[in-house]
């Protein structure tokens, strides 16, 4: 059993939901990311998504576009991020998954990518521009290496597609809360509850909800129906706002704690 | 009937290239579009309606003009010009936007969006939006807004909103990113009119079908006047829609050679160019796998061309396929050479071409010189040059 399966098994026993945080690797720089990872785990993050920046992140809103762009300006790439992961694994035991677009993986070679990621201590990958139909070979190789491929389901997915996504996803299913790109929203769609319930009906795999979630109130609301809550842009915004500030890490930790508490509350 | 090549396949692949690399949110919209398209292409009333607008509104068929003066100067092969510059709005882009707008009507979409580089596709989209009563937003890089001011003004006059895109290279690539983000957000009531043979399936197939009118007309026109097929077809390649539209109907005519002219910018070894097929490697951008200008980490490189319409680091997957199977040859023409072509056709034929098309004209002149007088070259003159006057003024 890999780290992700263990996590959801443990949470199920405790009747708790997973609090998942996204950070762009290398934003504002790699050593900041290295410092953040253990802080996040301590603050309550059950799983951390580590973004490998891409030049053309078409599923991302302005916040993550900007963090990706700045990380790339610093020269961050798959190799330097893998080094960061190897070093962080000494201090972090929570599952770590990569989130990136397909081209950097393709260029690295997806077999090498999976092998090197697994070796460094990464447990799975989320690729927003890779639907299950295009992931055939990658999925096969990943399965063999017990490396999870987490696919996304969306409000526009038909039932037939939801079944396929549920079948192909390993680790958990990433449910996209809204039609749109990543980024904090004041309101989430009304039909979110119905969509998540429908998805939960057709699968036993954990369903985690992301996109748009920015407040403890929203996080608590979603944790009632899903198995996990994913927070990305709202967290990157905190980092952005406090960049260069001495208390930046404290502020990041306190935001993570408040979101985590909301998710973990019963 | 002629045997038609079965490309793309069911999954939208042209050999190794193509596919559907998009966020899940868009998959159902692409499936809806594919369904509507397949139905429309078999529906006589749809084809009649499209034919009506192409003829009565866009002014088709466009002439195939024998460029006697250019032929004389070259001293070699006969040069013919397929005059897409004479189509309504001044470029071939209208062929595709009319087709897609009629489809959007069928799908009961209320709003259309598009990306644009040179502004020709933006103008053609704003035009059909005005004609059919769609709300219309056009994404355009700030660099292109600056260099193609005339077209920005035309789009606004036509009632479209031009949304400036200031990220990345501030050109076509980033305008396309932003258009896709808009579509992901408003997918339920919006149709995205992609302007080239790029993007996820079924776009490369659909745009090819709508642009194939260029090649089909050329075929019957040259057969009528010369009683034979041309020896060479020459067309510029950015995303590659005018060239695929010209080439595809001749795919099975093995004696007809295809030459795609990419923008070599400041020189093919300068790094500042847009020659994806000559210098790129297979990669995924904007929803399909195709040749792509990228660095060793798989980050997309910035392209450069004097012509905004060719200034794009990717290329349509069907071109990648033609390159792989050696059906087409791809060559580069620099900014400077394009200006030479621009001047030649302006002075000798009285035709002011778009800078995109000027790349093809330059290469055709060069090629004609090497060939004997009984050979025939057809150049796709994809657009007219009014929009480029300011850029040309700066350089000549």
State yes or no: pLDDT of A192 exceeds 90: yes
Q: Give the count of beta carbons closer than 10 Å to the beta carbon of residue B186.
A: 18
No. of helices (H) and no. of strands (E), chain B? 16, 14
State yes or no: pLDDT of B1 exceeds 50: no
Dihedral, CA atoms, B78, B79, B82, B84, nearest 10 degrees? -170
Q: For B125-180, how does the pLDDT look when each residue is reduced to its tens digit (9 = 90+)? A: 999 999 999 999 999 999 999 989 999 999 999 999 999 999 888 999 999 999 99
Query: pTM of this prediction?
Result: 0.97
Contact check, Cβ <8 Å, B173/A108 = no
Task: For B299-367, give the DSSP string.
Answer: PBPPP--SSTTT--SB--HHHHHHHHTTSEEEEEEEHHHHHHHHHHHHHHHS--B-HHHHHHHHHHHHH
A164 touches chain B (CB under 8 A): no
Q: How many residues does chain A have?
A: 266
pLDDT of residue B5: 53
Q: What angle, rounded to 10 degrees, do the helices at A110-120 and A78-88 form? A: 20
Q: Show Cβ contacts of residue B162 under 8 Å, excluding neighbours closer than 6 positions.
A: B122, B138, B140, B145, B152, B155, B156
Average pLDDT, chain A: 96
**Chain A / chain B CB contacts < 8 angstroms:** 114
Q: Show Cβ contacts of residue B58 under 8 Å, excluding neighbours closer than 6 positions.
A: B87, B88, B89, B94, B95, B98
No. of helices (H) and no. of strands (E), chain A? 12, 9
Q: If you measure CA to CA, which chain B residue comes closest to A164?
A: B24
CA distance linking residue B112 with residue B96, whole number of Å: 14
Q: Give the count of beta carbons closer than 10 Å to the beta carbon of residue B107.
A: 16
Q: How far from chain centre, in Å, is Cα A247? A: 25
Q: Binning pLDDT at 50, 70 and 90, where does residue B3 land? A: low
CA distance linking residue A12 with residue B89, whole number of Å: 62
CA distance linking residue A165 with residue A170, whole number of Å: 10
CA distance linking residue B257 with residue B233, whole number of Å: 6
Q: Show Cβ contacts of residue A191 under 8 Å, excluding neighbours closer than 6 positions.
A: A155
Q: Which residues pair with B14 in a beta bridge?
A: B17
Structural domains in chain A, CATH included, are: 3-264 (3.20.20.70)
CA distance linking residue B379 with residue B361, whole number of Å: 7
Contact check, Cβ <8 Å, A103/B29 = no
Q: How far from chain centre, in Å, is Cα B123? A: 14
- Over pLDDT 90: what percentage of chain A? 95
Contact check, Cβ <8 Å, A179/B185 = yes
Output the six-digit token pair for B76: 């070699």
pLDDT of residue B350: 98
Contacts of A179 in chain B (CB under 8 A): 25, 184-188
CA distance linking residue A169 with residue A174, whole number of Å: 9
Q: For B50-74, how does the pLDDT look when each residue is reduced to its tens digit (9 = 90+)? A: 999 999 999 999 999 999 999 999 9
State yes or no: pLDDT of B95 exceeds 50: yes
Q: CA angle, corner B46, sides to B40 and B49, nearest 5?
A: 155
Average pLDDT, chain B: 96
CA distance linking residue B297 with residue B287, whole number of Å: 19
State yes or no: pLDDT of B2 exceeds 70: no
Contacts of A158 in chain B (CB under 8 A): 28
Q: For A104-116, how does the pLDDT look when each residue is reduced to its tens digit (9 = 90+)? A: 999 999 999 999 9
What value does the mean pLDDT take over residues B296-320?
Answer: 96
Three-class DSSP category at B233: strand
Dihedral, CA atoms, A125, A126, A129, A130, nearest 10 degrees? 60
| B93 is known as an active-site residue | yes
Contact check, Cβ <8 Å, B180/A58 = yes
Contacts of B198 in chain A (CB under 8 A): none
What value does the mean pLDDT take over residues B379-395?
Answer: 95
State yes or no: pLDDT of B4 exceeds 80: no
Q: For B258-277, how does the pLDDT look when each residue is reduced to its tens digit (9 = 90+)? A: 999 999 999 999 999 999 99
What value does the mean pLDDT take over residues B280-294?
Answer: 98
CA distance linking residue B111 with residue B161, whole number of Å: 12
- Strand B78-83: give its sheet, edge to edge: B64-66, B78-83, B376-381, B232-237, B257-265, B328-334
């Amino acid at each position: 059993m890999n780290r992700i399966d263990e996590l959801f098994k443990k949470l199920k026993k405790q009747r708790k939901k997973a609090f998942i945080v996204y950070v762009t690797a290398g934003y504002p720089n790699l050593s900041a990311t290295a410092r953040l990872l253990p802080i996040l785990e301590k603050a309550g993050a059950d799983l951390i998504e580590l973004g490998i920046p891409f030049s053309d992140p078409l599923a991302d809103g302005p916040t993550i576009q900007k963090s990706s762009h700045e990380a790339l300006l610093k020269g961050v790439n798959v190799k330097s991020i893998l080094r960061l992961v190897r070093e962080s694994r000494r201090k972090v035991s929570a599952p770590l998954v990569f989130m990136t677009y397909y081209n950097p993986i393709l260029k690295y070679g997806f077999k090498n990518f999976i092998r090197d990621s697994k070796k460094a201590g990464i447990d799975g990958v989320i690729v927003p521009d890779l639907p299950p139909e295009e992931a055939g070979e990658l999925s096969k190789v990943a399965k063999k290496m017990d490396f999870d491929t987490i696919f996304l389901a969306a409000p526009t997915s038909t039932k037939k597609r939801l079944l396929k996504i549920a079948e192909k996803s390993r680790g958990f299913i990433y449910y996209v809360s809204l039609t749109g790109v990543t980024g904090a929203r004041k309101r989430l769609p009304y039909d979110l509850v119905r969509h998540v319930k429908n998805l939960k009906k057709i699968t036993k795999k954990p369903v985690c909800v992301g996109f748009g979630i920015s407040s403890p109130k929203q996080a608590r609301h979603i944790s009632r129906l899903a198995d996990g809550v994913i927070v990305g842009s709202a967290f990157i915004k905190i980092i952005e706002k406090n960049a260069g500030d001495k208390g930046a890490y404290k502020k990041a930790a306190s935001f993570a704690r408040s979101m985590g508490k909301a998710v973990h509350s019963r | 009937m002629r045997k038609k090549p079965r490309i793309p396949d069911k999954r939208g692949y042209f050999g190794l290239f193509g596919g559907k690399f998009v966020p899940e949110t868009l998959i159902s919209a692409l499936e809806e579009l594919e369904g509507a398209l397949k139905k429309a292409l078999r529906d006589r009333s749809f084809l009649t309606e499209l034919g009506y607008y192409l003829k009565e509104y866009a002014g088709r068929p466009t002439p195939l003009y024998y460029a006697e003066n250019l032929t004389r100067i070259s001293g070699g092969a006969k040069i013919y010009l397929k005059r897409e510059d004479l189509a309504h709005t001044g470029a071939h882009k209208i062929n595709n936007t009319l087709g897609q707008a009629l489809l959007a009507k069928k799908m009961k979409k209320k709003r259309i969006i598009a990306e644009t580089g040179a502004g020709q596709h933006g103008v053609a989209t704003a035009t059909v939006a005005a004609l059919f009563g769609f709300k219309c937003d056009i994404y355009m890089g700030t660099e292109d807004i600056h260099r193609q001011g005339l077209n920005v003004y035309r789009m606004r006059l036509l009632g479209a909103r031009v949304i400036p895109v200031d990220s990345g290279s501030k050109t076509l690539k980033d305008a396309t990113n932003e258009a896709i983000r808009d579509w992901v957000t408003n997918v339920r009531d919006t149709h995205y009119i992609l302007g080239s043979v790029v993007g996820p399936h079924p776009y490369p197939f659909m745009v090819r079908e709508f642009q194939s009118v260029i090649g089909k007309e050329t075929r019957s026109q040259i057969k009528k006047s010369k009683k034979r097929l041309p020896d060479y077809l020459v067309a510029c390649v950015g995303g590659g829609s005018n060239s695929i539209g010209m080439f595809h109907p001749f795919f099975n005519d093995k004696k007809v050679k295809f030459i795609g002219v990419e923008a070599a910018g400041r020189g093919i070894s300068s790094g500042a160019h847009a020659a994806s097929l000559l210098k790129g490697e297979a990669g995924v951008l904007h929803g399909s796998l195709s040749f792509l200008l990228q660095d060793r980490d798989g980050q997309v490189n910035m392209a450069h061309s004097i012509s905004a319409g060719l200034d794009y680091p990717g290329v349509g997957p069907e071109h990648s396929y033609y390159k792989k199977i050696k059906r087409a040859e791809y060559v580069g023409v620099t900014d400077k050479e394009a200006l030479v072509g621009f001047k030649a056709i302006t002075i000798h034929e009285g035709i002011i071409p778009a800078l995109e098309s000027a790349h093809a004209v330059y290469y055709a002149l060069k090629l004609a010189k090497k060939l004997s007088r009984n050979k025939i070259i057809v150049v796709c003159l994809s657009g007219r040059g009014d929009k480029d006057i300011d850029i040309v003024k700066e350089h000549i």
